[in-house]
Chain A
Amino acid sequence: MGNDASNGVSEGDLEQNDGQQFGRLPATAAERTVEGRASREAVVDYFADRFGIAPETFDDHTFWEKGAGKIWVYGGSAPSPVEIEALGMTCLRTRQEHWKPTTDFVQRFGREADECVIELEPDEARAFAAGEDRDLERWDGDWGYLIAAHDVAGELEPIGVGLYVHGELRSMVPKGRQREL
């Protein structure tokens, strides 16, 4: 990060993303050194704006990019860039029009969310965990990626990410994570 993070760096002067290594996200877009890379600020703002997850939730975490647009949330220490198999967990897909959180991120941090959370009935929750799509006319909130949650022993518990469009909730639970419960 930079002494020479002078203002007025144009996109053309930026490095290309190297998909083989983990690079830490810059604090803000102005400090960016890699073309197209999201900033920490933008990621934290996204979780706050879309889901109401307080920015302080991530005070002890850093965010990293590996591959194109795959963002990881990590609580340990590491230099940037670093070539390694994994740093913490994948949390978000950027470099696409609609950013998309991961199922595992939503299960880990989604309890902090109070917006764009859709509560499912027991049979809907089971279908969702099995990867099935369902018509859900009752939702009158935003379209796009939502946190699907259900009641577990009296508390709401996030199950995963759903894509809500045209009255339908599509389960985004990855194949390997789907279960018949």
Chain B
Amino acid sequence: MEPLERYRPIVDDFEAFLAACERPLGNAVRVNAIKATVDRATAALEAEGVGYERADWNPRVLRLETDSPGSTWSSFHGFTHGQEEVSAVPATVLEPEPGERVWDSCAAPGGKATQLAALMDDRGTVVANDSNLGRISALRFNAERLGATSLAVTNDDARNYSLERFDFEEFDRSLVDAPCSCEGTIRKNPDALDGWSEGYLDEVSGIQKGILGRAVQATREGGTVVYSTCTFAPEENEAVVQHVLEAEDCRVVDFDLDLEHSPGLTEWDGDEYDSSLERAARIYPHQNDTGGFFVAKLEVTA
């Protein structure tokens, strides 16, 4: 937990935050609307005697009372997909519409890409990309199990992504669910902080800036880009968005979120960020008894 000490000045009720980080997390699933309505999925769970509780903020998110959510009929049929509750936030903030062209730049193993497809009623094009070929097979497996026919899968570095192979030139929306130091997953992976170092923050924030910058370029004027991480480090969150605000044509916009959260930071460690970064959301584990997440929504202005 030691690396988390640096967030004492920015987290309200820091002791509750630390205590939440030490508690293991339950099993949440997302209902996959491509294959089942919420009613059908919950009826299937009830029929096999699996208890659940609905999340208030999102009717498609369920907390399961079972230790093996992967060996239910509901999972076998692809009615539900194991996905941490907060990890269902970024796709809903991106709000893709049926028929649109959407880029998921860092998509493996596909929880959010398949959620995007479901939000689009599986109509349109979701380009699910990841630079890691090994993780692409997990992405493909999940896409097929969940019945997502609108996914096109590519294996490239998102920083210099080319749309040449497609018959369109830009995306309507893009999601950058970036590789990160994963501090917010500590409740799922108790060793998440083991390799923590400031050097890693420097390295990974360079990659994050490169991917987010490319996503803004690849998205049409008036289109939307969502940036998310499962970490608390401002170097990987506000600082990355600040960099892209300066380098590309975009602005930070507001969004509604029915989960308790804190605003994005406007200063950290002697650096100041644009006041619009307050529109971003920091979700801490003690606020809703979930993992941690950062989400910012950008509009492309040229």
Chain B interface category by residue count: 35 or more
Chain A CB within 8 A of B152 CB:
yes
Chain A CB within 8 A of B66 CB:
no
- The interface stretch among A41-49, A78-86, A137-145 is A78-86
A153 to B140, CA, bound (A): 29
A181–B165 touching, CB < 8 Å:
no
Chain A CB within 8 A of B35 CB:
yes
- B77-100 near A? 1/0 per residue, CB < 8 Å: 110000000000000000000000
| A residues less than 8 Å from B145 (CB atoms) | 104, 107, 177
B167–A74 touching, CB < 8 Å:
no
Chain A CB within 8 A of B73 CB:
yes
Chain B CB within 8 A of A115 CB:
no
A89–B71 touching, CB < 8 Å:
no
A84–B46 touching, CB < 8 Å:
no
A176 to B167, CA, bound (A): 34
Chain A interface category by residue count: 20 to 34
Chain A 3-47 residues near chain B, CB threshold 8 A: none
Chain A CB within 8 A of B229 CB:
no
Known interface pairs A86-B143, A107-B35; A79-B167 also in contact (CB < 8 Å) = yes
Q: Whole-angstrom distance from the CB of B237 to the nearest CB of chain A?
A: 30
Chain B minimum-CB-distance residue to A81? B165
B77–A157 touching, CB < 8 Å:
yes
| A residues less than 8 Å from B211 (CB atoms) | none
Chain B CB within 8 A of A88 CB:
yes
Q: Whole-angstrom distance from the CB of B22 to the nearest CB of chain A?
A: 32
| A residues less than 8 Å from B72 (CB atoms) | 181
| B residues less than 8 Å from A177 (CB atoms) | 145
- The interface stretch among B8-16, B118-126, B176-184, B198-206 is B118-126
A61 to B122, CA, bound (A): 11
A159 to B75, CA, bound (A): 12
B152–A86 touching, CB < 8 Å:
yes
| B residues less than 8 Å from A60 (CB atoms) | 123
Chain A CB within 8 A of B47 CB:
yes
A176–B141 touching, CB < 8 Å:
yes
A-B contact pairs, 18 of them (CB 8 A): A60-B123, A76-B151, A77-B167, A77-B168, A78-B125, A78-B166, A86-B151, A86-B152, A87-B153, A89-B147, A102-B144, A107-B145, A108-B149, A153-B40, A153-B47, A157-B77, A181-B72, A181-B73
Listed from nearest, the 7 A-B pairs whose CB atoms lie closest are A76-B125, A108-B147, A153-B43, A86-B153, A88-B149, A85-B153, A104-B144
